[in-house]
Amino acid sequence: MSNKSVLFLVAALTLPMSPAEAVELGQGVQAHGFVSQSLVHTSDNRVGGNSDDGIATDMREIGGNLSWRPDADWLLSGQVLARWAGQSDVGDLRLDYGFVDRTLMTGDASSLGVRLGKIKNPVGFFNTTRDVAQTRPGIIMPQSIYLDRIRNSFLAAPGISLYGNHDYSSGNLAWQISGVRPELDDPDLTWFMLGDKARGTFHGKDSWFAQAMLESEGGRWRGGVTLSQVSMKYQRGAETIPFTSGSTRLPTWGLSLEHNTENWSLTGEYSQTAVHSQGYSIPLVEQDNTTESWYLQATRRFGSGWQVFLRYDAFYLDKDDRDGSAFVASQSGLPAPAQIPARVRFAKDWALGVRRDLGRWSWSGEWHHVDGTAWLSPTDTPVAAAKQRWDMLLLQGAWSF
């Protein structure tokens, strides 16, 4: 275990064990914070460091946010975060989000507001809350919908958002429409989009997100739809590479549904993204396809803060080529070292997890059995060295206030 990992664990373990509310710093000013540390072991492949050689400790995060409400209609909020996730995320401090929120209208049953700044993108149930470990449906998110290797590019983006709420007799309708310009300067995104460590960067173009979420019977049922289109342009680097500067559009739709009882939650989400790329001068990259993503999770809550879950998570980069065989056949003219294997085109994951909440602390453990490598970062596990079938064990301690 590295020295910085030891110091991080010592700092985390010396935090107070009792519940704590947000820190009040003045009239209308609040501070929140969180910290988490994970230990990872894998049978093959690497997650959060050298997990296949032992126990990896390079999966941790620490963050804090401030909010100021000068009056009932105005809110200023921002969050900074340092996150470690193996070689793909090395703890650089960054602004996770930061915005000004203005309530435009409030009534007996409805409200309307606008946000301006770096705002969270409304995707499914969890994208706007995934930054804090205790709000996630497991130590790691369902990777089919909430892909961690491109988290930095799609969690939030500069732009403007109009949102509203309407209460009705048995529930609530919440909606949001955002126009954004994504920040996409992330080497892992280049790997994910082009299947190569091509020098150069992606830049966000005008994009949009829209979401409507309906809750009824006091949260017994939750459901919603998410629509979006992310547009980006690739700017090649100075090196001689096969790619020319191209552009990609990613129109996406998704459905979310959850049923809650006193002891059980059943959650499912489904999404498709059409990939339209042009201008890269590589036919393999410019083939239009549609990704398919979905998961189903059952969670059982017990007394004294205990809960367990079972999840099946499926991710296909091409819904019409789920085993990657057609993709491999399309590379028949390439030399063998340049060919990309079928296993990078899908990932099917069974996960079983347990969690104990004690005040502001959460202690979690989960096991994953994965077929495929679509959500592995090549910066940690080179494509040629990855194994198709692998297991992963994670342990995590997390604290927040």
**What per-residue confidence (pLDDT) applies to 15?**
41
Instruction: Give the residue-averaged pLDDT of 303-329.
Output: 95
Which two structure tokens, joined as six digits, stand for 75? 């809110």
Q: Which of 267, 51, 227 is nearest to 141 (CA)?
A: 267
Residue 18: pLDDT above 70?
Answer: no
Residue pair 400/36 in contact (Cβ under 8 Å)? The answer is no
**What per-residue confidence (pLDDT) applies to 310?**
98
Q: Phi and psi dihedrals of 146, rounded to 5?
A: -120, 75
Share of the chain above pLDDT 70, in %: 92
Q: Which residue type is seen at 29?
A: V
Question: Of 27-31, 197-201, 379-383, where does mean pLDDT reach its minimum?
Answer: 197-201
Q: Phi and psi dihedrals of 150, rounded to 5?
A: -120, 25
Most confident of 2-16, 50-64, 303-317: 303-317
pLDDT (tens digit per residue) in 61-105: 999 999 999 999 999 999 999 999 887 788 889 999 999 999 999
**What per-residue confidence (pLDDT) applies to 285?**
80
Q: Which fold has domain 97-400?
A: Porin (2.40.160)
Share of the chain above pLDDT 90, in %: 69
**Quick one: CA torsion of 84, 87, 93, 94, rounded to 10 degrees?**
-100
Distances (CA, A) of 5 to 56, 57, 91, 324: 10, 7, 12, 38
Beta bridge partners of 222: 215, 258
**What per-residue confidence (pLDDT) applies to 1?**
44
pLDDT (tens digit per residue) in 159-205: 999 999 999 988 999 999 999 999 987 777 877 887 666 667 889 99
**What per-residue confidence (pLDDT) applies to 21?**
60
> What's the mean per-residue pLDDT of the chain?
90
**What per-residue confidence (pLDDT) applies to 158?**
98
**What per-residue confidence (pLDDT) applies to 205?**
96
**What per-residue confidence (pLDDT) applies to 133?**
92
Residue 276: pLDDT above 60?
Answer: yes
Instruction: Give the residue-averaged pLDDT of 318-340.
Output: 87
Distances (CA, A) of 282 to 86, 246, 332: 30, 10, 14
Residue 361: pLDDT above 80?
Answer: yes
Rounded to 5 degrees, what angle do the CA atoms 297, 378, 125 make?
25
**What per-residue confidence (pLDDT) applies to 196?**
65
Beta bridge partners of 157: 119
Question: Of 111-120, 240-249, 375-384, 388-397, where does mean pLDDT reach its minimum?
Answer: 240-249
Rounded to 5 degrees, what angle do the CA atoms 157, 292, 231 make?
30
Token pair 């892992």 in the structure block, residue: 188
CA distance linking residue 306 with residue 242, whole number of Å: 53
Token pair 């004294």 in the structure block, residue: 304
Which bin fits 247, alpha (ψ -120 to 50), beta or left (φ > 0)?
Answer: beta
**What per-residue confidence (pLDDT) applies to 239?**
63
Residue pair 25/3 in contact (Cβ under 8 Å)? The answer is no
Question: Of 11-20, 32-41, 179-188, 228-237, where does mean pLDDT reach its minimum?
Answer: 11-20
- State pTM to two decimals: 0.91
Residue pair 289/273 in contact (Cβ under 8 Å)? The answer is no
Residue 238: pLDDT above 90?
Answer: no
The 8-class DSSP code of residue 341 comes to P
